[in-house]
């Protein structure tokens, strides 16, 4: 009998104690399963069973010893360097990986200048050093001046003659506003806004100029309600419906408010439209913004004095022309915002100055007449 520990086990292994365990287990098995007593009569079979039983109950966590070379032979070779064996019964706890950076967490980097679907044309223009405000230019200004002169001349002829250029103005206003807001095609919204303008024109012609505010405000209230009902029946998502509702209401309001040219005094329409034509042409000149605005207002005041002397308003036409030109410049600025397209310039850029000047023409015309 050798004093060396049993091969394959730790130094704390006792072979004498292990030989007594099979005999006790055999007695327990004989008491538990009497029908299997014959299976353990053979000592070799019992010894073989004992070796299997001993191998299955050996626990590495209890022994807390280094594995021998024969134990490591059962593991396949690894390409990495084996870590230092730990004698702790609990496995080592590794720190969790660091969270990704902010840019890596969202999955995309900063916006590029070449093209990015997440930014608008106005934002891209700012990143590239360009202004998001692009004015319509001389050609749309010429069309605005032509339409304004038609309003100025037909106002002296009569209400039914004034309706013809007014309907054109209202149609272009309805179409241009939707395109300015990035909604195209929007046939239902354009048709609804234009229909409201036509109803306002008919109501005003039927009620007369004295009842103009009631006809305009009444039509506007009904059309806001119709726009709300139309959007409630839509199957689009809530954000899209809210955006469409606001665009439809604003387009209908601008087209209906343009009816104020029909409700205003004819002399006021003549002076105001002429002042708008001169102001928009002066605004299209290649001048700095501040200088261009000042020149436009002064030119409009001069045109108001000139045309007012021909109609009977006299020097009062300077105030009317300047105020109408100021409203027209606001509409011109709105049509230039957010990097618009060429189609916007030839619709909203043409119509918004005249549509925005309609309330001033009506109010000042009634006050100065």
pLDDT digits (tens, 9 = 90+) for 208-226: 888 989 999 999 999 999 9
pLDDT at 77: 55
Q: How far, CA to CA in Å, does 10 sit from each of 39, 76, 77?
A: 31, 22, 23
Cα dihedral 181/182/184/189 (nearest 10): -30
Please check whether residue 327 is in contact with residue 368, taking contact to mean a CB–CB distance below 8 angstroms.
Answer: no
pLDDT at 44: 53
Question: What is the three-class DSSP state of 197?
Answer: helix
In the predicted model, is pLDDT for residue 71 greater than 80? no
pLDDT digits (tens, 9 = 90+) for 168-219: 999 999 989 988 887 766 788 899 999 999 999 999 999 988 898 999 999 9
Closest C-alpha among 246, 254, 272 to residue 200: 254
122 against 231, higher pLDDT: 231
The alpha carbons of the chain give a radius of gyration, in whole angstroms, of 45
In the predicted model, is pLDDT for residue 150 greater than 50? yes
pLDDT digits (tens, 9 = 90+) for 269-298: 999 999 999 999 999 999 998 999 999 999
pLDDT digits (tens, 9 = 90+) for 309-366: 888 888 889 999 999 999 999 999 999 887 778 888 999 999 999 999 999 999 999 8
Task: Calculate the CA 189 to chain-centre distance.
Answer: 20
119 against 22, higher pLDDT: 119
pLDDT at 8: 44
Share of the chain above pLDDT 70, in %: 66
pLDDT at 75: 52
pLDDT digits (tens, 9 = 90+) for 251-271: 999 999 999 999 999 999 999
**Contact partners, residue 338, CB within 8 Å, separation at least 6:** 120, 121, 122, 132, 180
Cα dihedral 229/231/232/238 (nearest 10): -160
pLDDT at 328: 95
Task: Work out the average pLDDT over 91-109.
Answer: 50
Listing DSSP states for 77-133 in one string gives P-SSPPPPP---SSPPPPPPPPPPPHHHHHT--SPPSS--TTS-HHHHHHHTT--S-
Q: Give whichever of 62-66, 83-87, 154-158 has the largest mean pLDDT.
A: 154-158
Task: Work out the average pLDDT over 22-35.
Answer: 50
Q: How far, CA to CA in Å, does 248 sit from each of 109, 141, 193, 217?
A: 37, 26, 7, 16
Please check whether residue 128 is in contact with residue 116, taking contact to mean a CB–CB distance below 8 angstroms.
Answer: no
| CA angle, residues 308, 311, 312, in degrees to nearest 5 | 80
pLDDT at 82: 52
Q: How far, CA to CA in Å, does 175 sit from each of 110, 182, 343, 346, 361?
A: 36, 11, 10, 10, 23
Question: What is the three-class DSSP state of 136?
Answer: coil
């Amino acid at each position: 009998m050798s004093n060396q520990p049993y091969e394959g086990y730790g130094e704390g292994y006792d072979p004498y104690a292990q030989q007594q365990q099979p005999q006790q287990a055999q007695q327990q098995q004989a008491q538990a399963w009497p029908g299997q007593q014959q299976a353990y009569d053979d000592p070799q079979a019992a010894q073989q069973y004992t070796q299997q039983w001993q191998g299955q109950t050996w626990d590495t966590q209890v022994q807390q010893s280094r594995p021998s070379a024969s134990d490591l032979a059962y593991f396949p070779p690894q390409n990495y360097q084996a870590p230092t064996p730990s004698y702790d019964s609990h496995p080592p706890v590794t720190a969790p990986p660091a969270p990704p950076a902010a840019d890596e967490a969202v999955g995309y980097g900063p916006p590029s200048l070449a093209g990015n679907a997440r930014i608008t044309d106005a934002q891209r223009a700012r990143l590239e050093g360009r202004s998001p405000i692009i004015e319509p230019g001389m050609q749309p200004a010429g069309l605005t001046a032509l339409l304004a002169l038609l309003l100025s001349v037909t106002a002296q002829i009569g209400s039914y003659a004034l309706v013809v250029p007014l309907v054109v103005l209202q149609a272009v206003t309805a179409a241009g506003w939707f395109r300015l807001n990035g909604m195209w095609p929007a046939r239902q919204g354009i048709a609804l806004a234009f229909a409201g303008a036509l109803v306002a024109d008919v109501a005003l012609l039927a009620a007369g100029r004295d009842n103009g505010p009631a006809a305009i405000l009444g039509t506007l209230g009904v059309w806001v309600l119709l726009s709300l009902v139309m959007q409630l029946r839509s199957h689009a998502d809530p954000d899209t419906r809210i955006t469409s509702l606001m665009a439809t209401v604003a387009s209908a309001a601008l087209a209906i408010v343009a009816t104020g040219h029909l409700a205003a005094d004819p002399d006021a329409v003549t002076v105001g439209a002429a002042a708008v034509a001169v102001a928009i042409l002066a605004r299209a000149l290649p001048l700095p913004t501040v200088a261009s605005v000042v020149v436009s207002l002064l030119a409009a005041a001069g045109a108001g004095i000139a045309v007012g002397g021909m109609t009977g308003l006299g020097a009062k036409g300077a105030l009317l022309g300047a105020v109408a030109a100021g409203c027209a410049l606001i509409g011109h600025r709105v049509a230039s915002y957010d990097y618009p397209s060429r189609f916007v310039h030839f619709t909203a850029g043409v119509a918004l100055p005249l549509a925005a000047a309609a309330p001033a023409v009506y109010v000042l015309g009634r006050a100065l007449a």
